[in-house]
Amino acid sequence: MAHEHLTRRRFLTGAAAGGLTAWLASCSSDGSTSSPPAPTSTSSGPTTSGAIDIGGAFAQPEVLASSGGLLEVVLRVEEAQVPWGDSTRFCLTYNRTTPGPTLRVRPGDRLQIRLENRLAEPTNLHTHGLQVSPEGDGDNVFVAVDPGEDRTYVYDIPADHRSGLFWYHPHAHHTVARQVAGGLAGAIVVVDEVDDAPELAGSNERIWVLADPPIGTSPEVLDVSAMKQMAGREGDAVLVNGVLTPEVAARVGEVERWRMVNASASRYYRLAVNDHDLHVIATDGGRLPAPVTATEVLLAPGERAELLIAPSAAGRFAVRSLPYDRGGMGMGGMGGSSGTAETTIATMIATGTGDPALLPETLPVNDDPVPDATASRVVELGMGHMMGQGDMVWTIDGRPFDPARTDIEVALGAVEAWEIRNPTGMDHPFHLHVWPFRVVDTTDASGWKDTVNVPAGSTVRIVVPFTGIAGRTVYHCHILDHEDLGMMGVIDTGPGR
Ligand SMILES: [Cu+2]
């Protein structure tokens, strides 16, 4: 299970970042492609003190925050060339940036987003992890926004919504992987009094949107082979908020607070920071009552983690993604294993002297007890052929996705224990819309989750309270190519259904 990674000790070896230069992947607001800004980072250079705090190569997406209970946003979806080294790269953007702006809201707010599709293909919008209505103008993944069309989404965030890091991305079936890999993703932060608590208020809060786009100058860069799609595409470079190996300017004696989302289509990140422990204070939308100390954290696609780090001494510390093997399809000649090599994704540059900051032993938490299950269910992940055709599909309970079919009916108010079985040779991150769940059989406090990795050949058990919001929506694998190839089902809950 994913959370075994929280406790497994790894010995970290030094790895110098490549001598590459990073640029913020965004264009000027008038829509023209701006000339590349001055280089903000030369990763191989020696540490220089004074300039680091100003240099700030670690870029944050623009923040759009609610006021008076409302956040109204326009997200225009379009192709763009963004600066890349001495050249540019092709990507898909929200408001000509990738990732899109960070949306900051509070429980009880209304979030209203007008999505303007200026692509040549349909797209739509999903607010991953938000407990909002999946119907009508809400988080409705069954509607597509056609090229040239606009659609206004209205999300009423319940007053008792848990705070945490969530995110938005397209969810139009068959094109999700290429659109997200192309750059369409952005962070949503739900803020409440937990964020104002003194234990967290003085920390250096940073959003990390982790993406691995394909790098190229033409739209064809988003096309992948059937084999790569079956395995789940991985891109050419790991970017943090659109920047290659950014430098995080940290101070000894201060606390870094990193809120990380894996917005990659398929890539897993096993995160570690040289010479530093990670103190996990939240997973997905679930804040933990006390930090869980770990040497590494695994983030499957869709998952989030909120980490505290206390820089121990002045120096350069690589933020790395350690090797991870998410398995192969075990089909002769098709794919083999999908292992990723170790990658340095950022560098923490700590300055200052003195003792490391003290971390809180407990945290204020808006947590709820896990209720007892009133029913149980088995969900089985699988692979097969389309009926009468040779095309391979990924399946749930033996069937590829059909939006017209309802696979699971649940009465609103039920609490279900699900056993998610994965007899395949690959890991699959299982994601359920709207209703957060708790992972059982894990020794670590995992908090409320909406995405959980189900490793190859294993079973994960979750408990899902279907409370609060009724509606018809989906559950699926968050390796987005697998979702596009059918690994998705429809769930319907509500009175009178
Ligand atoms: Cu999968």
pLDDT at position 445, please? Answer: 60
User: Taking the CA atoms of the chain, what radius of gyration do you get in angstroms?
Assistant: 21
pLDDT at position 341, please? Answer: 85
DSSP 194: H
* 232 Cα–ligand 1 center, Å: 8
* 477 Cα–ligand 1 center, Å: 5
* 400 Cα–ligand 1 center, Å: 12
pLDDT at position 334, please? Answer: 44
Between 471 and 362, name the one with better pLDDT: 471
Tell me which of 138-147, 210-219, 249-258, 353-362 is least confident: 353-362
Please report where in the chains the tokens 């422990």 appear, as a residue.
277
- Which residue, 103, 132, 130, is CA-closest to 115? 103
Q: Are strands 428-432 and 471-477 parallel, antiparallel or unpaired?
A: antiparallel
Q: How confident is the model at residue 215 (pLDDT cuts 50, 70, 90)?
A: very high
Rounded to an integer, what distance in angstroms lies between the CA atom of residue 278 and that of residue 298?
A: 12
Q: Exposed, middle or buried by CB within 10 Å (0-12, 13-18, 19+), for 177? A: buried
* 308 Cα–ligand 1 center, Å: 30
* Six token digits for residue 382: 């699988």
* 268 Cα–ligand 1 center, Å: 12
In 122-265, alpha helices (H): 176-181, 193-196, 198-201, 226-231
* 325 Cα–ligand 1 center, Å: 14
pLDDT at position 165, please? Answer: 97
Architecture of domain 375-493: Sandwich (2.60)
pLDDT digits (tens, 9 = 90+) for 449-475: 999 999 999 999 999 999 989 999 999
Q: Write the CB contacts of 315 (distance below 8 Å, at least 6 apart in sequence).
A: 47, 275, 349, 350
CA atoms within 13 A on the CB side of 61: 32
* 230 Cα–ligand 1 center, Å: 9
Sequence ranges of the chain with CATH classification 2.60.40.420:
19-196, 222-351, 375-493
* 39 Cα–ligand 1 center, Å: 38
* 170 Cα–ligand 1 center, Å: 17
Over pLDDT 70: what percentage of the chain? 84
In one-letter notation, the amino acid at residue 372 is D
The CATH number of the structural domain formed by 19-196 is 2.60.40.420
* 424 Cα–ligand 1 center, Å: 9
Count of positions (residues) in the chain: 497
Has domain 222-351 been given CATH number 3.30.390.50?
no
Ligand 1 ion: nearby residues, β-carbon < 5 Å: 428, 477, 479, 482
* 47 Cα–ligand 1 center, Å: 41
Tell me which of 8-12, 66-70, 106-110 is least confident: 8-12
Rounded to an integer, what distance in angstroms lies between the CA atom of residue 131 and that of residue 92?
A: 27
* 487 Cα–ligand 1 center, Å: 7
Degrees to nearest 5, angle at CA 283 with 413 and 289: 85
* Six token digits for residue 346: 């950022």
Distance of CA 259 to the CA centre of its chain: 10
| Cβ atoms 82, 93 nearer than 8 A | yes
* 302 Cα–ligand 1 center, Å: 12
Between 444 and 407, name the one with better pLDDT: 407
Tell me which of 1-10, 202-211, 344-353 is least confident: 1-10
- Which residue, 183, 184, 239, 218, is CA-closest to 20? 239
pLDDT digits (tens, 9 = 90+) for 241-274: 999 999 999 999 999 999 999 999 999 999 999 9
Give this prediction's pTM: 0.87
* 454 Cα–ligand 1 center, Å: 9
The mean predicted confidence, pLDDT, of the chain is: 86
* 285 Cα–ligand 1 center, Å: 22
pLDDT digits (tens, 9 = 90+) for 390-431: 678 999 999 999 999 999 999 999 999 999 999 999 999 999
CA atoms within 13 A on the CB side of 139: 27
